[in-house]
Amino acid sequence: MADAPSRWIRRYRTAPDAPVQLVCLPHAGGAASYYRPLALPLFPEVEVLAVQYPGRQDRYNDPCIDDFEELTERTLDAIRPAIDRPVALFGHSMGSLLAFEVARRLEAEGTEPLALFASAKRPPSRHHIELPRQATDEELISEIAALDGTEERLLVSEDMRLLFLPALRADYTALAVYRPTDARLACPVVALVGDDDERVSVDDAAAWEHHTTGPFDLNVFSGGHFYLNDQWEDVAAVIKRRAADLVPQKG
């Protein structure tokens, strides 16, 4: 039996009259609350549905999912009943691959997303294993420290490590079993990347063009892997502009 959507979906700014919904998928080790700063500038034009994976924050006691296929299917089961109007998908880092796989399945079911926004991730055809499945705690900590998206005080605190390491390990294990693919979507793809991202080059981001038969757009921001931390307003502007171009007009 599928989980209730309420366990997976967080709405930080409810917008029942928004013509577009945006399903946001977090990075490895990330949580739905990461997208709270995006929900505010998108309101009221776009309603953000942020996905809360098991094993973090208010779902800390729910077992983590360390298989990418299972995470995809359970995420899809959760968002199906939550979307009730034209929908786009936004993923950051690991969330980009997950958004891509969810979009593939939605299209196969006859629900074509308005667009896929793929942030700070190599496309599926260029996926490679960043950490082995049996990575040590220190290897996991070193990896996320290098991405410069987590406060140092959290990384050095033993108590905090106990809270976030299980989810982080599950996510990197899921990424380690993801199989690269050349599959294409029918919906438009919008790639976003920081110009100083040491994990994803601008060339990598541009290669998302080969994963759609529709329009493609590349947006390069200043910054590293977590460039959006300081540029939520600019990211929101990209989304609103694209949504305005794609949403079906009434009348």
Half-sphere exposure of 217 (CA within 13 A, CB side): 12
Q: Tell me whether residue 211 is one of the annotated catalytic residues.
A: no
- Per annotation, catalytic residue among 27, 92, 211, 225: 225
What's the CA gap between 152 and 141, in Å, rounded? 10
Cβ–Cβ < 8 Å for 99, 71 = no
Phi-psi map region of 93: left, alpha, beta (phi>0 left; psi -120 to 50 alpha): left
Half-sphere exposure of 198 (CA within 13 A, CB side): 8
Cβ–Cβ < 8 Å for 35, 58 = no
Q: Tell me whether residue 210 is one of the annotated catalytic residues.
A: no
- Per annotation, catalytic residue among 93, 96, 119, 211: 93
> E-strand spans in the chain?
9-10, 20-25, 46-51, 87-92, 116-119, 189-194, 216-221
Active site residues: 93, 225
